[in-house]
Amino acid sequence: MLHLVTDSTSDLLAEGARRLDITVVPLTVRFGEEQFRDGVDIDSTTFYRRLATATALPTTSQPSPEQFAEVYRSLLRSPDDEVVSIHLPAHLSGTMQSATLAAREVDEKRVRVVDSWTVSGGLQLLLHAAARERDEGADAATVVRNLERRRERVTCYVLLDTITYLHKGGRIGRAQAFIGGVLNVKPIVSVERGEVGPAARVRNRQQGVAKLLELVRGNGPLESITTMHGDAGEAATEFRSRLTALLPELEIPPLEQLGPVVGTYAGPGSVGVAVLRAG
């Protein structure tokens, strides 16, 4: 039997994980001396409420190899069990390294670790495709091969209310280009091929939503799409409504919140979209 594993930067809620039969290994968020497992001990609503009053930016850390090893062992109960473990980019976190070390310790022939090159909604698009293939009877080698092809066609765009969280969190990548002269503008960053980069600058959120729509249109035709936000439900609802009008042929899932770990770097007020281009 093929089992799928991911981490909490997929922002896959417990209900969705159960429905897709995917095991989620949580990263950790720390506010000072307090630490919380992402999506287990703290949800998005509580996280953004705490973030609004925090005197310092929270920090995050990846799961340990031991946490992954425990999960892998629990899934490899029969000789024909296999695991495909799909995670946020190695460039952005040590999660991939922890998962890889655990796979070597447990059984690297039966546990395959894949760098998704993406995060949050982008990772969800890949997980949905992998779960569909698993349910259709694909083996681990086929799922991995298709993931590695499909990840090249995924891009996330996030309209940030401010670049501050991404910059202070040290995950800014090529979006460093936004630093300097960034006052009174709102950056749109992309996550593609495992790296955060600059996509556009706009003056306000209204212009930002229009630019996001333009970027989505420029990626067509699309196989699938999803939207997400960081405590910006009203703006995200408007954006999703306009996306539905733009892409009536696609089913756009309900809005998802950026979870605590991703929200640490995107910050409150962010609106995002992830696209999977047609192959």
What's the CATH code of the domain at 107? 3.40.50.10170
Q: Are residues 127 and 36 in the same domain?
A: yes
Q: What angle do CA 248, 253, 256 make, to 5 degrees?
A: 135
Q: Are residues 180 and 117 in the same domain?
A: no
Q: What is the pLDDT of residue 184?
A: 66
Q: What is the pLDDT of residue 173?
A: 58
Q: Are residues 135 and 227 in the same domain?
A: no
Q: Are residues 118 and 162 in the same domain?
A: no
Average predicted confidence (pLDDT) for the chain? 93
Condensed to tens digits (0 to 9), the pLDDT of residues 168-211 reads 755 555 545 555 445 568 899 999 999 998 999 898 999 999 99
CA–CA gap between residue 18 and residue 25 (Å, rounded): 13
Q: What's the number of domains the chain is made of?
A: 2
Q: Are residues 147 and 218 in the same domain?
A: no
Q: Are residues 53 and 183 in the same domain?
A: no
**Which of 94, 125, 152 delimits the end of a domain?**
152
Q: What number of other Cβ atoms are within 10 A of residue 237's Cβ?
A: 14
Residue with tokens 């929270």: 58
Burial class (CB in 10 A: 0-12, 13-18, 19+), 158: buried
Task: List own/partner pairs for 238-242 with CB under 8 A and 24 or more apart.
Answer: 238/209, 239/209, 239/212, 239/213, 239/271, 239/273, 242/209, 242/213
Q: Are residues 137 and 264 in the same domain?
A: no
Condensed to tens digits (0 to 9), the pLDDT of residues 236-263 reads 999 999 999 999 999 999 988 999 999 9
What's the CATH code of the domain at 203? 3.30.1180.10
Q: What residues have CB less than 8 Å from 50, skipping those under 6 apart? A: 31, 42, 58
**Which of 100, 130, 152 delimits the end of a domain?**
152
Q: Are residues 134 and 188 in the same domain?
A: no
Q: Are residues 203 and 265 in the same domain?
A: yes
Structural domain range at position 188: 153-277
Q: Are residues 269 and 170 in the same domain?
A: yes
Q: Are residues 43 and 140 in the same domain?
A: yes
Name the pLDDT band for 150 (thresholds 50, 70, 90): very high
Q: Taking residues 204-222, what's their average pLDDT?
A: 95
Q: Model's pTM, two decimal places?
A: 0.94
Q: Are residues 118 and 250 in the same domain?
A: no
Condensed to tens digits (0 to 9), the pLDDT of residues 47-103 reads 999 999 998 889 999 999 999 999 999 999 999 999 999 999 999 999 999 999 999
> Phi and psi of 271, rounded to 5°?
-130, 130
**Which of 152, 175, 205 delimits the end of a domain?**
152
